[in-house]
Amino acid sequence: MQLKYKIVTLSVLPLIASVLIICVLVFAQSRKLEEEQARLVESSIMAAKKAELKNYLELALSLIAPLYQSGRDDEAARQDALRMLSRANFGLDGYFFVYDSHGKNLMHPRQANLVGRELIGMKDKNGLPVIQALLKSAKSGDGFQLYTWEKPSTGQVTDKLSYVVMLDRWGWMLGTGIYIDDVEVATSKSRQEVADGVLTTVLAIASVALIAVLVVFSGGLMLNFSEHRLADRKLSALNQRIVRLQEEERSRVSRELHDGISQQLVSIKFQFELAGLELEKGMPRGLENLKAGTARLGEAIGEIRRISHDLRPSLLDTLGLSPAILQLVRDFEQRTGIRTQFEQGLDDTQVGGEVAVTLYRIIQEALGNIERHSRASAAIISLSCSRGGVALRVEDNGVGFDPGLMERSQGIGLRNIRERVDHHRGTFTLSSSSGRTELQVGIPLDA
């Protein structure tokens, strides 16, 4: 995967993961809230229905109160009470029912087939013995009982909440009930409202996340485009600089060959031709000119070796870094007359080939700067181990300069040194004042 796609992926994936985690948490909390709200709705509705049932039953008791409180226990009074209760209805499915203490139905205005039957063992669809549960609830004083019963208006068996009381003197259980299928509708509606709210919230989160992803993606594309343009400009500048450096190096080698070796070889050619003519004529100076030409040929060969050594020191490949630097220092002293001390505190086996070439080129560039600009009389080159790396120090006693101005100039000497050090992820410092200039380089060996 390319770096730009890695960056976009690392930016988008955590955002998507966060949104997914948030959605999961929202769903989990919504389920909890949905159940809590459904229980709250159900409990509030049931509390209202219980209060409503108590009111209805109090109304029924007030209807038969004159008969019951009169002290009459005859059959006629009881039948009058049953007729009054059978006519007292409320709503579409609201009615009163009466059972004796043994579970026999005495009055049921909506299901006449039950009247006179012993129903003590009758069970609802959930296996609950309904009449036994109603009698137990009435005798315990609570009075409320939940069970399933056929709804008159629809003929469907549904949940019903009843409230019953005992009329002990007559041995009756008087009760009424409300079908609570509307509770299920209300709780389902409550759950649906919560689910709709959660869905709206999740869609909002997803929309925000999508917008954020698009913003991140667009920002990544714009950043990638700008970085591409910047990289293209840097690459173009680097290519131009490489071409310029190649041309400068070729020009330097060409000047040295033309102004040095070429002139010497032409002079040697003329001297050999003169020596040949003189030897043909038997003149005694012919042998001297031949010897002088041979000596100058040796100088030309030495110049060729110097140019070759500048391009690629053979000692660096054959004997190692220290001998190559020592030879470089000797040639520098002979050429410039500047006393140069080389302090070696490094084992060549510790330095790899690429690092050795880098150190050699840095020293070569530094000595070239000392020769051209410093007007120094002495220099010190120190090479040692330091914290798992190589430490190089080049110092001279020249006139000094302003390092800031030099780094902002168009010269390539210090820039080449810095780029070589940066290639190895090393450190580079330069300090200078009148009478002392010091260059320090640190290169880690594991880089």
Q: Got the DSSP string for 308-376?
A: HHHHS-HHHHHT-HHHHHHHHHHHHHHHH--EEEEEEE--GGGS-HHHHHHHHHHHHHHHHHIIIII--
Digits of tens for pLDDT over the chain (447 positions)? 566 667 667 777 777 788 788 878 887 877 787 778 778 877 888 888 899 999 999 999 999 998 888 877 888 888 999 999 999 888 888 999 999 989 999 999 988 899 999 999 999 999 999 999 999 999 887 899 999 999 888 888 999 999 999 998 899 999 999 988 877 777 777 777 777 777 788 788 778 878 877 777 777 777 777 877 888 888 888 777 777 777 777 777 777 776 777 777 878 888 788 888 888 877 878 788 788 888 888 877 877 777 776 666 666 777 788 888 888 888 889 889 999 999 988 776 567 678 888 888 899 889 988 988 888 999 999 988 877 788 999 999 999 888 776 655 545 677 788 888 888 888 999 998 888 999 999 988 865
**CATH 3.30.565.10 segments of the chain:** 313-444
> Which contacts qualify for 205-209: CB closer than 8 Å, 24 or more apart?
205/19, 205/22, 205/23, 205/26, 206/19, 206/23, 209/15, 209/16, 209/19
Superfamily of domain 313-444: Histidine kinase-like ATPase, C-terminal domain (3.30.565.10)
Q: Please tell me the number of Cα atoms within 13 Å of 369 on its side-chain side.
A: 26
Tell me 185's DSSP state: H
CA-to-CA distance for 278 and 293, rounded, in angstroms? 13
Q: Report domain 3-185's class.
A: alpha beta
**CATH 3.30.450.20 segments of the chain:** 3-185
Contact 375, 399 (CB under 8 A): yes
Decide: helix, strand or coil at residue 384. strand
Contact 350, 363 (CB under 8 A): no
Cβ-proximal residues to 222 (8 Å cutoff; 6+ apart), any chain: none
CA-to-CA distance for 95 and 109, rounded, in angstroms? 7
